[in-house]
């Protein structure tokens, strides 16, 4: 199959930890914008961005909530950067059993950053960060559609080998009927 | 539903170990707003004028401002209210940082401490769960150190800790309460906390704070952010750099200290060093700051970077703010390197950076002049820096001469006698002031110094320029976008104000104008102190983002209290008058309202009397500074009037018993 090039827009927040002043305005506005009705309340514990801060060790890392994960990592690493020791979790975006970050305080359900989808001005944490620790950037990326096609074929091949072609096709048919 | 506030106070009786969550009356919020206003009401209702600072009856109130915890930028202040051991009056010292919003998220507007614990304890507030815990292992620990230990033992790195150091434990009259990068330092609030046996209050909250009209409120917040950006890009021309922008004076950022070092006094507020700031010193001090400053930092939800993390070689890291950068340096005739070093110790001990250096310089002056002798300072080093470290240690431990000095210059002078009071020369209402000695009387500042009940000039000045601009065109330019004025007459006052000639100080601004100007400036501070807004974004700098025209909207859409400028002005006047009433009931009178005699060289006794007369009249106080029955009635404070009559402070038929004399 011929590889087809496609472009997609990747939304990025560039996080400059050196500029962060630790004020947590990002947490305030994030929790307000996601409140129902919008702006009706705020509570940094519901925020989808957190500043992992340890002022006396000069550690300030704004982290945006990523995917939920059922299990914590088997081991933990430490990063030493410019003489400052960071826990691996300092850079991790997961809502994870190992920590309280990125969970609704009442229900414990995971929180995930949606880049303020639908907000005219883009992510509100960026707008409220006047010290330029958070900068919004969009970039275009070319992706190779064919690659994923190939991957799919390899995967199906493996399933056909394991379960037989007929069984696999029956299953696909049943799944699509449900769909 | 309550908006902006939680509607609950946490009442803790330390004698009995009792903890109660108490619902508050929303009508009180309408009358007194919150923060300072409702603190003052509690103090009036519950602490008798006979109770002294260290009586179990005295309250120590940690009040979060009405709008703390909402998205309003810079609204993060805790207002500490108690009876001061130093002044014997009501004190309301404030701290920014992160504590007040955390308390709101935990579900409380205030923590009210009463009674005394026999053992050293700390209080752990985790949402609805509140505990009094043993703190014997924290005895003698530094304030910053204490916060770290507690966060670790509770496994709560996000908990906010307000703690005292050794000075508070030993009831030093100018002990502070330290909290991260902030502190409540004035008036000895830390001493009262220590007297109550409380080492720290630790808070963690994960609940919502609601606002009444969400879209309107966020719109107002966004306007403030836009205006902050505008002001950052448009510093005010013609004033010194620290007055040109917003925030507290940006002491951690600015290297050029020519103005402070050459205009403020050194030693025990005595010596002016006019040619101090040389290129060599500028280079040396800049290097010191650059090498020790790790980062400029902020309080909760605020883009202004008024503080800094400081790491001096071989010493633990601490966080510094504002003018503590220079107070120790200048009192000891030393350099910035010394100042940043000793401030680390002072922060851990938890002492006020205005009073402490002055007390030490005062002691050394007494030694130089033979009122104290070498026998009073056994083992004190010879060099100035060494002496300051030695004295600081003695004071916070209340050892030897330190026990006397720990009461501040006023009380120390009383105890020492032999004319020592002449050296305690820089006090107002028994509290050490900024080391400023000037030439010509400034009538506006005279009134602020004399009548302020916050004991600190920085907590009453602001809004109106400190000095006239030399050229009319600059003045015209300045008033062009001066939207903050409550009335256009203030623009005219400023336009006509000249450095020399007929319209210059001390007789211009006129008495009536000065009264208006001071009333406006004070009013803005009092509003901030009820809402929990940092003065650095509001009442302190010129042309701030918050002012009398947008504040009513913030209160209406935030707290759901129908507010307009008139109603807000009246509310601020109500609790300002109540603060005065508390102090009047404790014996404060006109005779206490005077700046240090040597504050200005050129004094005008007659004019000063006229200024006080005029201001008292404008405020609705009688000639002795006592709010009249009529004023109290207008403000809905009849209960104060009745109390005054019952105590013979006012008489039924006249305005004041004191007026007869």
Residues 6+ apart with CB under 8 A from B189: B60, B80, B82, B84, B91, B93, B175, B176, B177
Are the beta carbons of A46 and B208 separated by less than 8 Å? Answer: yes
The verdict on A136 and A166 lying in the same domain is no
Residues 6+ apart with CB under 8 A from B498: B468, B504, B508
Are the beta carbons of B209 and A42 separated by less than 8 Å? Answer: yes
The H or E element that residue B462 is part of is none
The verdict on A111 and A171 lying in the same domain is no
Domain boundaries, chain B: 8-204, 221-393, 438-660
Could you identify the residue written with the tokens 């040396």? B284
What Rg, from alpha-carbon coordinates, does chain A have? 21
Does residue A79 sit at the B interface (CB-CB below 8 Å)? no
In the numeric block, which tokens belong to residue B588? Answer: 């404060």
Does residue A19 sit at the B interface (CB-CB below 8 Å)? no
Which chain A residue is nearest to residue B205, measuring alpha carbons? A45
For chain A, first and last CA: distance in Å? 27
On whether the CB atoms of residues B103 and B205 are closer than 8 A, the answer is yes
The verdict on A24 and A46 lying in the same domain is yes
Nearest to B210 among A24, A38, A40 (CB): A40
Could you identify the residue written with the tokens 């609950």? B8
pLDDT in tens, A116-130: 998 998 999 999 999
Does residue A45 sit at the B interface (CB-CB below 8 Å)? yes
Does residue B240 sit at the A interface (CB-CB below 8 Å)? no
Are the beta carbons of B211 and A41 separated by less than 8 Å? Answer: yes
- What is the CATH topology of the domain spanning B221-393? 1.10.569
Q: How far is the C-alpha of B343 from the C-alpha of B330, rounded, in Å?
A: 13
> Among residues B304, B62, B81, which one has the least CA distance to residue B163?
B62
Which chain B residue is nearest to residue A44, measuring alpha carbons? B206
Nearest to B309 among A35, A41, A58 (CB): A58
Range of the domain at A59: 5-143
Give the gap in angstroms from C-alpha A172 to the nearest C-alpha of chain B.
Answer: 46
> In the Cβ-directed half-sphere of B72, how many Cα atoms lie within 13 Å?
34
Are the beta carbons of B218 and A32 separated by less than 8 Å? Answer: yes
Q: What is the DSSP string of B348-370?
A: HHTB-TTHHHHHHHHHHHHHHTT
The H or E element that residue B615 is part of is helix B605-619
Does residue B126 sit at the A interface (CB-CB below 8 Å)? no
Three-state DSSP class for residue B16 = coil
- Give the helix, strand, coil percentages of chain A, each rounded to 5: 30, 25, 40
Is CATH 3.60.9.10 correct for B8-204?
A: yes
pLDDT in tens, B412-428: 999 999 999 999 999 99
The verdict on A28 and A55 lying in the same domain is yes
In the numeric block, which tokens belong to residue B286? Answer: 């800049």
The verdict on A13 and A32 lying in the same domain is yes
Does residue B70 sit at the A interface (CB-CB below 8 Å)? yes
pLDDT score for B660 = 42
**Burial group, residue B641, by CB count within 10 angstroms (0-12, 13-18, 19+):** buried
Q: What is the mean pLDDT of residues A105-123?
A: 93
pLDDT score for B656 = 53
Task: Domain B438-660: give its CATH code.
Answer: 1.10.599.10
Which chain B residue is nearest to residue A124, measuring alpha carbons? B222
Chain A CB contacts of B209 under 8 Å are: 41-43
The verdict on A79 and A160 lying in the same domain is no
The verdict on A91 and A149 lying in the same domain is no
Does residue B148 sit at the A interface (CB-CB below 8 Å)? yes
Does residue B425 sit at the A interface (CB-CB below 8 Å)? no
pLDDT score for B323 = 87
pLDDT score for B305 = 93
> Among residues A113, A116, A132, A166, which one has the least CA distance to residue A14?
A132
Dihedrals phi, psi of B445, to nearest 5 degrees: -65, -35
Does residue A40 sit at the B interface (CB-CB below 8 Å)? yes
**Burial group, residue B491, by CB count within 10 angstroms (0-12, 13-18, 19+):** middle
Does residue B617 sit at the A interface (CB-CB below 8 Å)? no
Give the gap in angstroms from C-alpha B4 to the nearest C-alpha of chain A.
Answer: 9
Rounded average pLDDT per 10-residue block, chain B, 661 residues: 97 98 97 98 98 98 98 98 98 96 98 98 98 98 98 97 98 96 95 98 98 98 97 91 86 91 96 96 97 96 96 93 92 97 97 97 98 98 98 98 98 98 97 95 97 88 94 96 97 97 97 98 98 96 97 98 98 98 98 96 98 98 97 98 97 59 38
pLDDT score for B175 = 98
pLDDT score for A152 = 82
The verdict on A10 and A84 lying in the same domain is yes
Disruptive mutation site among A30, A32, A101 for chain B (greatest number of B CBs within 10 Å): A32
Does residue B219 sit at the A interface (CB-CB below 8 Å)? no
Q: How far is the C-alpha of B253 from the C-alpha of B322, rounded, in Å?
A: 10
Nearest to A21 among B70, B205, B305 (CB): B305
Three-state DSSP class for residue A76 = coil
In the numeric block, which tokens belong to residue B252? Answer: 């951690």
In the numeric block, which tokens belong to residue B502? Answer: 């007929």
Does residue B319 sit at the A interface (CB-CB below 8 Å)? yes
Higher pLDDT, A34 or A165: A34
> Among residues B608, B594, B527, B605, which one has the least CA distance to residue B565?
B527
In the numeric block, which tokens belong to residue B105? Answer: 């998220």
The verdict on A81 and A151 lying in the same domain is no
Disruptive mutation site among B68, B156, B208 for chain A (greatest number of A CBs within 10 Å): B208
Asked whether residue A38 carries a pLDDT value surpassing 60, the answer given is yes
The verdict on A95 and A126 lying in the same domain is yes
Which chain B residue is nearest to residue A52, measuring alpha carbons? B158
Query: Helix crossing, B565-585 with B511-531: angle to 10°?
Result: 90
Residues 6+ apart with CB under 8 A from A156: A168
Number of domains in chain A: 2
β-strands B427-428, B431-432 pairing: antiparallel
The verdict on A50 and A13 lying in the same domain is yes
Nearest to A43 among B105, B215, B318 (CB): B105
On whether the CB atoms of residues B576 and B519 are closer than 8 A, the answer is no
Chain B residues 153-182 with a CB less than 8 Å from chain A: 157, 180-181
The verdict on A108 and A44 lying in the same domain is yes
Three-state DSSP class for residue B273 = coil
Does residue A82 sit at the B interface (CB-CB below 8 Å)? no
């Amino acid at each position: 199959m011929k590889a087809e090039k496609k472009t997609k827009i990747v939304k990025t927040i560039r996080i400059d930890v050196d500029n962060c002043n630790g004020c947590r305005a990002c947490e305030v506005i994030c929790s307000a914008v996601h409140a129902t009705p919008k702006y009706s309340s705020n509570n940094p514990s519901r925020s989808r961005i957190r500043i992992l801060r340890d002022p006396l060790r000069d550690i300030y890392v704004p982290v945006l909530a990523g995917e939920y994960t059922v299990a914590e990592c088997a081991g933990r690493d430490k990063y030493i950067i410019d003489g400052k020791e960071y826990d691996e979790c300092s850079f991790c975006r997961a809502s994870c059993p190992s920590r309280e970050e990125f969970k609704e305080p009442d229900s414990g359900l995971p929180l995930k950053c949606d880049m303020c989808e639908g907000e005219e001005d883009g992510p509100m944490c960026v707008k409220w960060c006047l010290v330029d620790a958070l900068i919004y950037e969009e970039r275009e990326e070319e992706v190779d559609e064919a690659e994923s096609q190939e991957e799919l074929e390899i995967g199906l091949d493996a399933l056909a080998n394991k379960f037989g072609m007929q069984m696999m096709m029956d299953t696909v048919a049943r799944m699509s009927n449900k769909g | 539903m309550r908006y902006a506030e939680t509607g609950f106070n946490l009442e803790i009786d330390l004698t009995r170990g009792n903890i109660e969550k108490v619902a508050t009356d929303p009508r009180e919020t309408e009358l007194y707003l919150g923060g300072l206003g409702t603190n003052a009401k509690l103090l009036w209702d519950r602490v008798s004028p006979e109770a002294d600072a260290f009586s179990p009856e005295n309250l120590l109130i940690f009040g979060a401002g009405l709008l703390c915890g909402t998205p309003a930028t810079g609204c993060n202040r805790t207002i500490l209210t108690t009876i001061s051991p130093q002044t014997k009056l009501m004190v309301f010292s404030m701290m920014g940082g992160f504590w007040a919003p955390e308390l709101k998220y935990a579900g409380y507007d205030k923590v009210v401490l009463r009674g005394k614990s026999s053992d050293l304890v700390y209080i752990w507030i985790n949402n609805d769960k509140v505990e009094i815990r043993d703190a014997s292992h924290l005895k003698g620990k530094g304030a910053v150190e204490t916060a770290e230990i507690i966060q670790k033992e509770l496994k709560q790195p996000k908990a906010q800790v307000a703690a005292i150091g050794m000075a508070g434990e030993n009831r030093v009259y100018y002990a502070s309460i330290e909290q991260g990068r902030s502190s409540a330092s004035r008036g000895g609030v830390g001493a009262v906390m220590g007297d109550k046996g409380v080492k720290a209050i630790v808070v963690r909250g994960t609940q919502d704070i609601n606002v009444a009209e969400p879209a309107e409120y966020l719109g107002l917040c966004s306007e403030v952010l836009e205006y902050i950006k505008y002001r950052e890009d448009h510093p005010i021309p013609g004033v010194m750099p620290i007055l040109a922008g917003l925030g507290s004076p940006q002491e951690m950022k600015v290297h050029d200290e020519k103005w402070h070092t050459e205009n403020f006094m050194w030693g025990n507020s005595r010596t002016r060093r006019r040619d101090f700031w040389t290129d060599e010193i500028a280079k040396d001090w800049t290097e010191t700051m650059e090498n020790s400053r790790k980062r400029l930092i902020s309080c909760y939800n605020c883009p202004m970077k008024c503080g800094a993390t400081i790491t001096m070689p071989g010493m633990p890291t601490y966080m510094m703010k504002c003018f503590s950068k220079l107070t120790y340096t200048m009192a000891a005739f030393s350099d910035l390197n010394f100042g940043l070093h000793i401030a680390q110790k002072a922060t851990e001990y938890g002492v006020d950076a205005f009073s402490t250096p002055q007390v030490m310089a005062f002691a050394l002056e007494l030694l130089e002049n033979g009122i104290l002798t070498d026998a009073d300072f056994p083992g004190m080093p010879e060099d100035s820096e060494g002496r300051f470290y030695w004295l600081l240690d003695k004071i916070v431990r209340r050892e030897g001469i330190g026990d006397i000095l720990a009461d501040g210059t006023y009380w120390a002078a009383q105890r020492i006698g032999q004319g020592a009071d002449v050296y305690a020369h820089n006090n107002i209402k028994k509290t050490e002031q900024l080391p400023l000695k000037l030439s010509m009387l400034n009538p506006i500042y005279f009134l602020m110094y004399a009548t302020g009940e916050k004991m600190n000039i920085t907590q009453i000045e602001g809004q109106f320029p400190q000095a006239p601009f030399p050229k009319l065109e600059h003045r015209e330019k300045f008033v062009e976008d001066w939207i903050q004025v409550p009335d256009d007459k203030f623009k005219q006052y400023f336009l006509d104000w000249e450095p020399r000639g007929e319209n210059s100080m001390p007789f211009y601004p006129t008495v009536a104008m000065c009264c208006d100007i001071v009333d406006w400036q004070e009013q803005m501070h009092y509003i901030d102190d009820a809402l929990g807004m940092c003065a650095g974004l509001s009442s302190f700098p010129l042309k701030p983002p918050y002012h009398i025209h947008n504040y009513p909207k913030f209160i209406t859409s935030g707290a759901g209290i129908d507010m307009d400028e008139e109603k807000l002005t009246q509310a601020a006047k109500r609790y300002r008058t109540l603060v005065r009433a508390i102090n009047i009931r404790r014996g404060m009178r006109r005779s206490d309202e005077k700046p240090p005699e040597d504050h200005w060289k050129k004094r005008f006794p007659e004019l000063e009397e006229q200024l006080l007369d005029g201001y008292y009249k404008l405020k609705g106080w009688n000639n002795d500074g006592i709010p009249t029955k009529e004023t109290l009635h207008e403000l809905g404070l009849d209960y104060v009037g009745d109390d005054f009559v019952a105590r013979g402070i006012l008489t039924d038929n006249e305005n004041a018993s004191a007026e007869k004399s």
